[in-house]
Structure 1
Amino acid sequence: MRVAFSGFLHETNTFSPAPADMAAFVAGGGYVPVTRGKAMAAAFADVNLGLSGAYRAAATFGWEVVPIIWAGAIPSAHVTRDAFEQIAGEIVDGISAAGPLDGVFLDLHGAMVAEHLDDGEGEIARRVREVVGPDVPIAAALDLHGNISEDFVNTVDVLAGFRTYPHVDMAATGLRAAGLLDGLMRTRRRPAKAFRRMSYLVPISFQSTDIAPANRLYDQLAELEAEGALSTSLFMGFPAADIPDCGPTAIAYGDTQAAADRAADHIAAAYEAACDDFDAVTYTPDASVTEAERLLAGPGSGPVIIADTQDNPGAGGVSATTGLLRALIAADVEGAAIGLIVDPAAAARAHELGQGITAPFRIGGHPGLPDDAPVETDALIETLSDGQLHATGPYYGGTRLALGPSACLKIGGVRVVVTSAIAQMADREMFRFVGISPEEQRLLVVKSSTHFRADFSPIARAILVACAPGPMPFNPADLPFTRLRQGLRLSPNGPAFAPPAR
Structure 2
Amino acid sequence: MTRIAVGGFLHETNTFAPTKATYDDFVHGGGWPAMAFGPDVLKTMRNINVGLAGFVEQAEARGWEMVPTISCGASPSAHVTEDAYERIVKVMIDGIKAAGPLDAVYLDLHGAMVTEHLDDGEGEILARVRQVIGKDLPLVVSLDLHANVTPEMVEHADALIAYRTYPHVDMADTGRAAAKHLELLLTTKQKFAKAFRQLPFLIPLSWQCSNDQPTKGIYQKLAALEDDAVPTLSFAPGFPAADFAHCGPSVFAYGATQADADAAADTVAALIESHEDDFDGRIFTPDEGVRHAMELAKTANRPIVIADTQDNPGAGGDSDTTGMLRALVRNSASRAATGVIYDPVSAKAAHEAGVGATVTLALGGKSGIPGDAPYQETFVVEQLSDGQFVAPGPYYGGRDMDMGPSACLRIGDVRVVVSSHKAQLADQAMYRYVGIEPTEQAILVNKSSVHFRADFEPIAEQLLICAAPGAMPADTATLPWTRLRPGIRIKPNGAAFAPANTLRSTG
Q: Is the TM-score greater than 0.5? A: yes
Matched position secondary structure for 1:122: helix
Deviations, residues 258-298 of structure 1 (Å, cap 9, x unaligned): 11111100110011001111120000000001111221224
User: Which has the higher mean CA deviation after the structures are superposed, 14-23 or 234-243?
Assistant: 14-23
How many Å apart are 1:362 and its aligned residue?
2.1
Matched position secondary structure for 2:226: helix
The residue type paired with residue 402 of structure 2 is A
The residue type paired with residue 347 of structure 1 is A
In structure 2, C-alpha distance between the alignment counterparts of 1:190 and 1:479, rounded to whole Å: 40
How many Å apart are 1:34 and its aligned residue?
1.1
How many Å apart are 1:472 and its aligned residue?
1.5
Deviations, residues 115-150 of structure 1 (Å, cap 9, x unaligned): 111111111001101101112100000000000011
Deviations, residues 335-375 of structure 1 (Å, cap 9, x unaligned): 00000011111111111111011232221113413431222
Is contact 2:235-2:252 (8 Å) kept? yes
2:505 paired residue number: none
How many Å apart are 1:228 and its aligned residue?
4.2
How many Å apart are 1:73 and its aligned residue?
0.8
1:111 paired residue number: 112
| Residues 87-98 of structure 1: pairs in structure 2 closer than 5 A | 87-98=88-99
The residue type paired with residue 413 of structure 1 is D
How many Å apart are 1:226 and its aligned residue?
4.2
| Residues 229-240 of structure 1: pairs in structure 2 closer than 5 A | 229-240=230-241
| Residues 262-281 of structure 1: pairs in structure 2 closer than 5 A | 262-281=263-282
Is contact 2:146-2:236 (8 Å) kept? yes
User: Which has the higher mean CA deviation after the structures are superposed, 150-159 or 100-109?
Assistant: 150-159
The residue type paired with residue 352 of structure 2 is E
In structure 2, C-alpha distance between the alignment counterparts of 1:461 and 1:448, rounded to whole Å: 18
How many Å apart are 1:254 and its aligned residue?
1.1
2:54 paired residue number: 53
- What's the Cα RMSD here? 1.2
Percentage of matched positions with identical amino acids: 53
1:344 paired residue number: 344
In structure 2, C-alpha distance between the alignment counterparts of 1:202 and 1:10, rounded to whole Å: 19
Q: What are structure 2's unaligned runs of at least 5 residues? A: 503-507
The residue type paired with residue 298 of structure 2 is A
The residue type paired with residue 483 of structure 2 is R
In structure 2, C-alpha distance between the alignment counterparts of 1:456 and 1:397, rounded to whole Å: 14
TM-score (norm 1): 0.98
Deviations, residues 296-321 of structure 1 (Å, cap 9, x unaligned): 224x4210001000000001101110
1:25 paired residue number: 26
In structure 1, C-alpha distance between the alignment counterparts of 2:442 and 2:242, rounded to whole Å: 36
1:185 paired residue number: 186
In structure 2, C-alpha distance between the alignment counterparts of 1:361 and 1:343, rounded to whole Å: 10
2:334 paired residue number: 334
The residue type paired with residue 205 of structure 2 is I
1:129 paired residue number: 130
Matched position secondary structure for 2:140: strand
| Residues 96-175 of structure 1: pairs in structure 2 closer than 5 A | 96-175=97-176
Matched position secondary structure for 2:114: coil
How many Å apart are 1:27 and its aligned residue?
1.0
In structure 2, C-alpha distance between the alignment counterparts of 1:2 and 1:471, rounded to whole Å: 43
Q: What are structure 1's unaligned runs of at least 5 residues? A: none
Deviations, residues 42-100 of structure 1 (Å, cap 9, x unaligned): 10112110000110111121101011111211111111111111111111111011001
2:13 paired residue number: 12
Matched position secondary structure for 2:147: coil
Is contact 2:320-2:367 (8 Å) kept? no
How many Å apart are 1:202 and its aligned residue?
1.2
In structure 1, C-alpha distance between the alignment counterparts of 2:169 and 2:367, rounded to whole Å: 34
Is contact 2:33-2:399 (8 Å) kept? yes
The residue type paired with residue 305 of structure 1 is V
2:434 paired residue number: 434
| Residues 67-466 of structure 1: pairs in structure 2 closer than 5 A | 67-226=68-227, 228-298=229-299, 300-466=300-466
Q: Across the two proteins, how many residue pairs are aligned to each other? A: 501
